[in-house]
Structures are given as structure tokens and as C-alpha cells.
Structure 1
Amino acid sequence: MPFISLGLSPDLAQSALEQGYTQATPIQSAAIPAILQGNDVLATAQTGSGKTASFCLPLLQQWLESPRAMLRQPRALILLPTRELAVQVGGILQDLAQSLPRKLKVAVVYGGVSINPQMMALRGGADIIVATPGRLLDLEDRNALRLSSIKTLVLDEADRLLDQGFADELSSVLERLPPARQNLLFSATFPAEVGALANKVLNQPQRIAIEQSAATAPDIRQRAIEVDAGRRTMLLRHLLATHDWDRVLVFVASRQAADRVADKLQRNGVSAAALHGDCSQSQRGQALADLKTGRLRVLVATDVAARGIDIARLPLVVNYDLPRSPADYTHRIGRTGRAGASGEAISFVSADCAAHFKLIEKRQQLRAPRERIAGFEPLETAAPAVSLADPDGNGGIKGKRKSKKDKLREAAALQQQAG
């Protein structure tokens, strides 16, 4: 569906076309008219479906239709869980507004960097604010911005906002916003916590759920390679050497693992960098820029750092460490196969995490055939589950975990023996 038929002005529809938005995706076709009508919206759709443009375009339309003010007063606030996602959304807004008859001022604010340049940038106001919750509150506390003029609130990646412990900050932001406003909540997954947030924030929302079907599902080939945990880096190097992937995003479980894997790849002639919460903003920005331009071949990242990253035509995602939850699996592999392109997702499955990967498959309703690569066949086997009721293995309840009371009793007994 062409964008002009969704209620966008000819100028904005042409600007979207210049940025490569030729036809609206299903989520865009459903969300844009609903937002322009002033409805609260609760929208869920899979990663890579075009959710960002679903709210950026109508926000720009509303801004174009608003009266000009001597001092820019922000009319829209977009809250996001990570600095990378904030920068990305701010960039999309600026790109879409390039050829519009009015000059847009977007303030992108996030923590982890000095607050002073952001305070300076807010002098003279802004039209749209893109922010992480904590830094937004800091700036308002310092009177660098006011939220009293906000007409529309967008909560993007709502599931991750809650996962990352922003619940208290969100409550503080909501208390400072005008009660009469439009609320838009976008999320790739819809756990119970997101439902509770929606009930708290939204007022008679229009519910939009784009179910994944054969027509809308991203074209991602999902593979599972069995390998011993200690040989994953060697296998990764082998795969990189035998395939022509120009850019690869590798997910690991910790900051230490990101540094370690990136360092080993570098020492073996692979251009690689780590992306995690301990990286400075300049390091994070440079790593992403280098990957997008091809100066970097492999980016080794944690979930928090890589959430929401949009890298055009990224051919491969590797789960070096399996994600903690099936929802995280969805977000990870959704970095590839975006905007109609095809992609590939490889998960390394060692003996100790085979059961966890089966759970992911069950929750995702998928089945990835197990593969073995010559020379990297696994030798390890999963340790048998130990029964606490029968630790000698003569029966009992398999895999039962100790309760807190059991642990406290054992600790007290050990103290008595030590005394």
C-alpha cells in the first residue's frame, strides 16, 4: 500500500519514498491511520517488520500540522531501552524529515555520556525528544526540558524497557507527563508485564497484532550446530574462513565473553570488535559504524547492547551463547532477514545447553535440524541430572532443586558443625 493512501501528506510520502519506503508493511498500514486518528495504539509485530516507521511517520505528520511556535516545545516523546536504539530512531526521524518544508529539531538523549552537551543541545527547545528513561528524568530535574507540552508518548521495545529494570523510571516519567495525551506502545513480544503496562498507560487502545505467517515471516534460515563449548571459537573461525559473509553479528552471554571472543578473532586475522555496556559511547558508535560500512566483519555483542540494532542486509547472526529466553532468541535472529532480505541464524549447541535449546524450539514452534561440522564433532555429553532425594542415583525425583528453606537448614547445620 502506498504511504500517501494512509493519510500522510504528499511531502511526507515523497520524503519516505526518497528514504526507500516504497510500500507500507502490514504493521505500517494498520498503525499509521490509527495514530493519525488520535487513537491510543497497542501494536505487536515481529522484529524487522517496520515498527519504527509506523510511529515516526505519523509523528512527523502531526508535527507538520501543528502551529509553529517561537520556542520549540516538544510535542512527542519516544522512550527506548538503549542508547543505540535511541540514536537509531533519532536518525530515522531526521532522515525522513530531510526534504520537508519545515526544519525538524530532534533531541536524542541517553545516559552513559556527559549530560552537559545534551543540556546545551536542548537550549531553544526541540520538536521531538528521543530518550532513555533515566537520562530524561535527569534532564528534567535540571530544568533542561519540560514535559508539559507532550501530546504523544511512544514506548518502543516495551518488553525490553521492562526487562532492563526501567519500571520505576517509567512510573516517574508518566507522573510528569500531561494526563491528556496520546499513547503508543510497540513491542515485538507481549509478555504479561507488557500487558500490565498497557493497562496502566493506554486509554481504550486500538489493538494491532500482526501475526507471523508464511507471507510476513522473515526469510531466515535457522541452523543448530552441535559443538563442544570449548571449541566454539575455533568453529566460528572455521565458518568465517569457509564462507563469504561480509558482516556477522555474534551474540554472547556476558561482557567478558564479548571481549574474549573479539580478541581471539582479531589475533587470528578477523576484523572484530566487542559491543557491551562497558564500552564508551564513542566505542559503541564506532563499532556499529564500522560494521555497517564493512570496515568491521564481526561484531561480538551482548543482548543489552545489540537490542534494536538495524543493520541493512546483515547476512548472519550467530548465537555463540544461547539466549536466556525464547523471546530473546526472537530478537536476536531478527537482526537478519529484515526489510524483505534473506538471512541466516546459527546457534551453537553444546551438550550442557541442548535441553535449553529444545525449550527455545518448543516455545518458538520451530525445529532446527542438528548439524555437525567435520573436525568439530562434539565429544562431551550432558551430565545426568542429580536427584537430591537420591544423590547416589538409585531413583528419586530427577533434577529437583533445593528450596530456600533446605539451603538455610544446610547452612545452619554446617555452622553448628564448624562451631
Structure 2
Amino acid sequence: MSFKNLNLINPIVRAATEAGCAKPSELQNDIIPQILNGRDILCCMSNDMERLTSFIMPIIQLLKKNNTDHNETRVLILTSTKESALRIEENFKVYTKYLPLAQLSVYDGISNGTQLSSLRKRLDLIIATPDKLLELDEQRHITLSKIEMLVVDEADELLESNSGTFIKLIHKLPIKRQNIFYSSTISKDLTIFAERTLNNRLEINKKDYFSAVS
């Protein structure tokens, strides 16, 4: 099986191959087509590289589709820490080698001047920690009204450590959007939140794959 079989375009497949990711895992094989088809997903998995590539590659393809017709930020990726945001940012740079995107990471430690300068330009996607993003939103430096896709990485940690800010941000997004939630555990709170937030969701648990193999 190749990434080409998942209907990913050649520039993405080429970048993945050069990065040492020549073929999809069984889990990526299931997730990537669902994201391309616009499905809401709740996925329980912890492997960083497998998780990141499973949403980064289809996001790049979706953003490049009719890209010139959009002047607002289309994708928001929320994560719990600066370190996680940096990891996602670096992986996007790897897989956008042949399809550059306008992206911005928003987290504590970056000067407001740098962030505000970037926010004045058209952005395809924003990678953010909730507190910093909400601060910029409340100061009216950013608009979230045209977001088409929300990706939440480490959803369990966000609900546990920063639920108030996280939920405030969710309420600022358009109701009609695609939602992709990743979590290393599926708590009762996350299950309830997913039931209220995700539409016709597909639930994927990596443990199911281990069970199928054993």
C-alpha cells in the first residue's frame, strides 16, 4: 500500500517519501481518506509521528483545493503546550516542502509584534495553545469565523487542564465545520464532549488494531 492509494497528490507523497514515510500504517490508511471525505473523527492514539502525519497530509491537500478563493484562515489546530505546537509546526514544514502554506503558531514566548504582523496577512492555518489564542481573539487581533476544520491534539489534556478556555474557543467557531479530535485516552468527559461537538463521528481506537493482530 502506498500513500498514492489514499488519493493524496504527488507533491505530498513525494515529501512524505523523502521524509522516510514511504507507506501508510494501517491506522493512517483508515484515517486519511475519512478526513479527505470531511468526516468528524475521534481517535485514541499516542504515537506522535503516526498521529501527526495522519492529519497533516490530508489537511495540506484540502487547503490546496480552491486555495485562491479563500482569504480567511481555514484550519485551526489546538494543542496543550508550546512544545507540542512546535512539533506540529515543524512537521507541517516537512510535508509542505512542495506545497507551501501560510501558517502561524500562536503560543507564549513569541513576541506580540511578530504574531500581529503575521495576523495581518492571509493565513491558511493556525497552530495554537488555547490561552494565547483566546487572548488574541479577545483583543480582536484574530477572527475565527471562517474556520472550516478544527483539529484538537491531546484533547484529553486540554479538557483536564484548560477546559474553560478550550470550550470558550469552541463556541467562537462556526457550527458547520469538520472536527478531528486526537487523544491518548478517552475519558468520560471527553466522550460526553465529543457527543455534543462531533457530528456523525467515526471513532478509532488504536487498541482495536493491536487486538486484530494478536
User: Normalization by structure 2: what TM-score?
Assistant: 0.92
What count of residue pairs does the alignment treat as equivalent?
Answer: 213
1:356: which partner in 2?
none
Give the secondary-structure state (helix, strand or coil) at the position aligned to 2:140.
Answer: coil
- Picking from 184, 189, 194, the partner of 2:180 is 184
Separation in 2 of the partners of 1:203 and 1:97? Answer: 29
1:141: which partner in 2?
138
Equivalent residue letter for 2:178: Q
Equivalent residue letter for 1:86: A
Separation in 2 of the partners of 1:76 and 1:181? Answer: 10
Describe the shift of the 1:216–1:72 C-alpha distance in structure 2 as closer, same or farther (beyond 3 A): farther
4+ residue segments displaced more than 3 Å: 214-217
Separation in 1 of the partners of 2:65 and 2:11? Answer: 12
Separation in 2 of the partners of 1:2 and 1:215? Answer: 21
Q: Deviations over 1:44-79 (max 9, x none)?
A: 12334601111111110101112314x742110000
Describe the shift of the 1:10–1:160 C-alpha distance in structure 2 as closer, same or farther (beyond 3 A): same
- Picking from 193, 198, 201, the partner of 1:202 is 198
Separation in 1 of the partners of 2:126 and 2:213? Answer: 31
How far is the alpha carbon of 1:203 from its aligned partner?
0.7
Separation in 1 of the partners of 2:147 and 2:62? Answer: 12
Equivalent residue letter for 1:196: I
**Counterpart mapping for 1:79-228 below 5 A:** 79-100=78-99, 103-164=100-161, 166-211=162-207, 213=210
* 8 Å CA contact 1:79, 1:154 repeated in 2: yes
Equivalent residue letter for 1:115: N
Separation in 2 of the partners of 1:38 and 1:168? Answer: 27
* 8 Å CA contact 1:26, 1:210 repeated in 2: no
How far is the alpha carbon of 1:147 from its aligned partner?
0.8
Structure 2 residue 16 is matched with structure 1 residue 20: no
Q: Deviations over 1:109-151 (max 9, x none)?
A: 0124432321112221210100001111111222222111110
Q: Deviations over 1:138-166 (max 9, x none)?
A: 112222221111100001111111222x1
Q: Deviations over 1:304-330 (max 9, x none)?
A: xxxxxxxxxxxxxxxxxxxxxxxxxxx
Describe the shift of the 1:177–1:111 C-alpha distance in structure 2 as closer, same or farther (beyond 3 A): same
Equivalent residue letter for 1:189: T
User: Normalization by structure 1: what TM-score?
Assistant: 0.48
Gaps of 5+ in 2: none
Separation in 2 of the partners of 1:8 and 1:173? Answer: 31
Q: Deviations over 1:197-218 (max 9, x none)?
A: 211210110111121638989x
Structure with bigger helix share is 2
**Counterpart mapping for 1:278-297 below 5 A:** none
Q: Deviations over 1:358-401 (max 9, x none)?
A: xxxxxxxxxxxxxxxxxxxxxxxxxxxxxxxxxxxxxxxxxxxx
Gaps of 5+ in 1: 218-419
Superposition CA RMSD, Å: 2.0
Separation in 2 of the partners of 1:128 and 1:179? Answer: 18
Separation in 1 of the partners of 2:98 and 2:145? Answer: 29
Q: Deviations over 1:313-363 (max 9, x none)?
A: xxxxxxxxxxxxxxxxxxxxxxxxxxxxxxxxxxxxxxxxxxxxxxxxxxx
Separation in 2 of the partners of 1:216 and 1:130? Answer: 35
Separation in 1 of the partners of 2:163 and 2:211? Answer: 35
Give the secondary-structure state (helix, strand or coil) at the position aligned to 1:183.
Answer: strand
Give the secondary-structure state (helix, strand or coil) at the position aligned to 2:68.
Answer: coil
Separation in 2 of the partners of 1:206 and 1:215? Answer: 18
1:35: which partner in 2?
35
Equivalent residue letter for 1:204: N
Separation in 1 of the partners of 2:116 and 2:20? Answer: 33
- Which protein, 1 or 2, shows the higher relative CO under an 8 Å CA cutoff with sep ≥ 6? 2
* 8 Å CA contact 1:94, 1:106 repeated in 2: no
**Counterpart mapping for 1:51-90 below 5 A:** 51-69=51-69, 72-90=71-89
